[in-house]
Chain A
Amino acid sequence: MIPHLTDMPYARARTAALIGLSIYIAVGFSAHVLSNGGEDAYPFFSWFLFVNVPQRVQSGFDVVVVDGMGAQSLTESDAFFGDGMMRDILALENRLGRAVKGGNPLEIAEARRELESFLSGPVTYRVREITYDPLEYFSSKAVLEATVLAEYLL
C-alpha cells in the first residue's frame, strides 16, 4: 500500500517537494519567533545558529587563588588542570559566581564543593565578577574591571 501511496507522478512530486520545503521554512522560522529565540519545534529548526555577534565588552565570573597553588587565576591554570578539565572549571567558576551574586547559600555550598575538588589546599581564593574584552582576555587574561564578591579558604 505504501509504495502506491507515495509513488507520485513527477508533477505532483515536484509540487509536494516545494510545499515540503516551504513548510520547513515556515515552521522553523515561526518556532524561532514564537519561542522568542528559544526552543525549536522539534524536529524542525530555524537554523539561527551563531546569529548574535559577541560584543567587545563581556562580563562573567572568575576565581583567583590569592594564597596557595601558585596564587593565580584558575582560568590561567591549565598547567594544573589541562585542556580536558578547563571547560568544567570555567563552568564552575561561573556557577559559583552567579550563586554568590544571587545570594543562594545552597548553590554556593554545592558549587564550592565541586570546585574545591579540583584544588589542593590549603588555598585561599576569591570569587570575582569581571568585565573584559574577549580578544584581550583570550591572549592575556587581562580584565577591564574586577569586583571581589567573596573570599573562601580551603
Chain B
Amino acid sequence: MMTDLYTRITSSIDAIVRGEADFEKARAILPFFYYALFFISFLHLEGLDYAIERGSAGFSPRWPLFFADYLSFDATVTIVLLGATLTALLACVFPFSRIARILAFCGLFGYHAYTASFGGPNHQSDHWLWVAFILIFVPTLSATPSPETRKTFSLVFWSAQAYLLLTYTMAGIGKLIYAAIQFSNGQAHAFSPDAGALFAATQLNQMGVSTPLGPLIIEHPYLAWLPFLIMLELQTFAIVAAFRPQLHRVWGFGLIAFHLATFLTMRAVFVGPSFLLALFLLSSPFVPANTSLRDVLFSIPIIGTIARYISARVVRGNR
C-alpha cells in the first residue's frame, strides 16, 4: 500500500515537473527571491541602531548564534544584520551559484535565529528560511542544461512550492484536531459560527486596538462564518493544491487573501509569507496554459466534488 502511494505521488510529480517551459519560467523567477531577500535584509539593517538601542533584554540566543556568547550584543546584532544583507546581495549577483545561495541561506539563518532569540519564535521569516534552504539544491546550470538537469531544476522549484503549501496544511490539520477536542469538551470550536469573531475580538481586546473590518464581524459574527470555513479548506488542502498545478494560482490568491483578511480583522501580520505565495504560486511556472474555469473548480477538494455532483445532476436532469 505504501509502495502504491509512493508511486502515485512520484507519478503526480513527474506529470507536473517536465523541465520544459516550466524550467525556463522557474529559472526566470529564481533571482527575484534573492532580490526580495536583499531588500528585506537591507530594511532590517537600516534598523540596526534601533536594535542596538533596544538592547539585549530578553535575548537568549538560539543555537545558530553560537558565537553570541563570545561577543557583545552590539557586535552580534551588527554581524547578523550586516551578514544577512551582504550574503543576500551576493546571491542577487550570482543567483545560480550554489556557494552564493548557501551563504545567503546562512545569512538568513543568522537573522532568523536572532529574531527568534527574544522568547517566543518569530514566524515572519520561517518560510523564507526554508525556501532559501530548498533553493540551495537547484542544480548547477551549464550553457545548455541536459533534460535531466532541467527537470531537477523544476523539481527543486516545485519542492519550494510544496513546502510553502505544506505549512498551511499543517496549520489546517492543527485547527481540525483542536476543533475536535474543543467540540468534545462542549466549547466553541473552529466550526462554530462565531469562531472568526471570537478570534478577532480576543486579539483586539488584548492589543487594545481596532481594525477596519474587526468591529463589523464582531457586531455580526455570522459574516465571518463562511470565510472562516473557506480558510479551513484553503489551509487543510493546501498540499493537495501542490499536486494540482491548475490550482496553484487559486491557492496563492486564496492564501494571500486570507492573510489580508486576518490583518484587516485581527491585525495578524503575515507579510513575508504573502510575498512568497505571490512569487511561487501566483507566478507558478507549472500552471497549464489552457485551463478552463470548470477544470479549476472541479479540481478543488470537497468543493470540486460537490460541483461535479451538482453538474452531473444538472446534465442528467436536462436529458
Q: How far is the CA of A14 from the CA of B134 in the complex (A)?
A: 12
Select which of B6, B116, B149, B174 is within 8 A of A46 by beta carbon: B174
Contact A135:B207 (CB < 8 A) given known A14-B10, A17-B159, A55-B187:
no
Total number of A residues with any Cβ neighbor in B under 8 Å: 48
CB <8 Å contact, A43 and B112: yes
Select which of B10, B121, B140, B177 is within 8 A of A7 by beta carbon: B140
CB <8 Å contact, B174 and A40: no
CB <8 Å contact, A83 and B208: yes
Q: How far is the CA of A55 from the CA of B192 in the complex (A)?
A: 11
CB <8 Å contact, A54 and B170: no
Smallest beta-carbon distance B277→chain A, Å = 15
CB <8 Å contact, A29 and B170: yes
CB <8 Å contact, B126 and A54: no
Q: Which residues of B contact A53 (CB under 8 A)?
A: 178-179, 182, 187-190, 192, 195, 198-199
Smallest beta-carbon distance B131→chain A, Å = 12
Q: Which residues of B contact A55 (CB under 8 A)?
A: 187-188, 198
Contact flags A58-98 to B (C-beta < 8 A → 1, else 0): 10000000000000000100100001001101100000000
CB <8 Å contact, B188 and A135: no
The stretch of B67-75, B150-158, B246-254, B297-305 that contacts the partner chain: B150-158
Q: How far is the CA of A18 from the CA of B202 in the complex (A)?
A: 38
Judged by a CB distance under 8 angstroms, whether B22 is at the interface is: no
Judged by a CB distance under 8 angstroms, whether B62 is at the interface is: yes
Q: Which residues of B contact A7 (CB under 8 A)?
A: 139-140, 149, 152
Smallest beta-carbon distance A144→chain B, Å = 14
Q: How far is the CA of A6 from the CA of B175 in the complex (A)?
A: 37
CB <8 Å contact, B215 and A139: yes
Q: Which residue of A lies closest to B221 (CB)?
A: A135
Contact flags B173-204 to A (C-beta < 8 A → 1, else 0): 01101110010000111101011011101101
CB <8 Å contact, A87 and B170: no
A sample of 9 cross-chain residue pairs with beta-carbon separation below 8 angstroms, ordered by A number, consists of A2-B102, A8-B152, A53-B188, A54-B199, A58-B202, A87-B206, A90-B208, A137-B205, A138-B214
Q: Which residues of B contact A13 (CB under 8 A)?
A: 137, 152, 155-156
Q: Which residues of B contact A48 (CB under 8 A)?
A: 170-171, 174, 178
CB <8 Å contact, A134 and B208: no
Judged by a CB distance under 8 angstroms, whether B167 is at the interface is: yes
Judged by a CB distance under 8 angstroms, whether B260 is at the interface is: no
Q: How far is the CA of A20 from the CA of B134 in the complex (A)?
A: 9
Residues of chain B from 28 to 57 with CB closer than 8 A to chain A in the complex = none
